[in-house]
């Protein structure tokens, strides 16, 4: 009888947890941004947290949600995934077609961006640096108006196409991950 009650209680808790997770909208919803050109496809999948009146980027002592000079999964919940079906060139580093994790270390003037080969971890845990394929630094600028929800998207201008990250008053724009030279069969280049 005790075993039956125990198993029933566990099943009810598991079922209740599953229903809560599947029926309750996430606080930081999952989103995917895509770039498609000439059969080349790049996607970035990440969770989108909201500002909700908080200090987002800044000093830890000031209570920043994402403190300077500390690992950030570049989103919420799970790690951020970049997937490409073609080779990419990031600041003279070649990223082969595949699926990778992307994480950053924000700073006041520059951010360190890392592309890591391990994409099977939950975002709270920093991936092992020995699995970083490469890292590079990018400059930071400032926005005039605050962006409430973390947004990662692709933009194209006269210079070329880039991945852009915006949240609060911080854009890492056109330089977070410049869609550097997507290699094409025609040997023409998209910068």
Q: Cβ(47)–Cβ(95) under 8 Å?
A: no
Q: How far apart are CA 157 and CA 138, in angstroms?
A: 18
Mean pLDDT, contiguous 10-residue spans, the chain (191 residues): 88 83 75 88 93 94 95 90 87 87 92 89 80 90 91 80 86 52 33 26
pLDDT, residue 85, reads 92
pLDDT, residue 182, reads 42
pLDDT, residue 104, reads 92
pLDDT, residue 191, reads 26
pLDDT, residue 65, reads 95
pLDDT, residue 159, reads 67
Q: How far apart are CA 189 and CA 90, in angstroms?
A: 14
How distant, in Å, are the alpha carbons of 12, 26, 74, 170 from that of 80? 32, 16, 6, 18
């Amino acid at each position: 009888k005790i075993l039956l009650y125990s198993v029933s209680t566990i099943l009810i808790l598991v079922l209740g947890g599953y229903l809560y997770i599947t029926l309750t909208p996430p606080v930081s919803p999952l989103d995917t941004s895509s770039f498609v050109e000439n059969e080349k496809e790049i996607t970035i999948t990440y969770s989108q947290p909201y500002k909700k009146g908080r200090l987002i980027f800044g000093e830890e002592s000031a209570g920043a949600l994402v403190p300077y000079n500390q690992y950030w999964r570049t989103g919420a919940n799970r790690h951020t995934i970049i997937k490409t079906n073609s080779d990419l060139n990031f600041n003279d580093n070649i990223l082969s077609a595949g699926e990778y994790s992307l994480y950053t270390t924000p700073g006041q003037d520059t951010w360190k961006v890392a592309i890591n080969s391990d994409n099977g971890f939950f975002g709270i845990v920093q991936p092992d640096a020995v699995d970083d394929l490469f890292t590079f630094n990018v400059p930071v600028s400032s926005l005039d108006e605050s962006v409430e929800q973390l947004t990662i998207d692709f933009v194209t201008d006269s210079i070329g196409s880039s991945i852009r990250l915006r949240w609060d008053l911080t854009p890492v724009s056109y330089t977070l991950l410049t869609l550097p030279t997507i290699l094409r069969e025609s040997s023409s280049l998209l910068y």
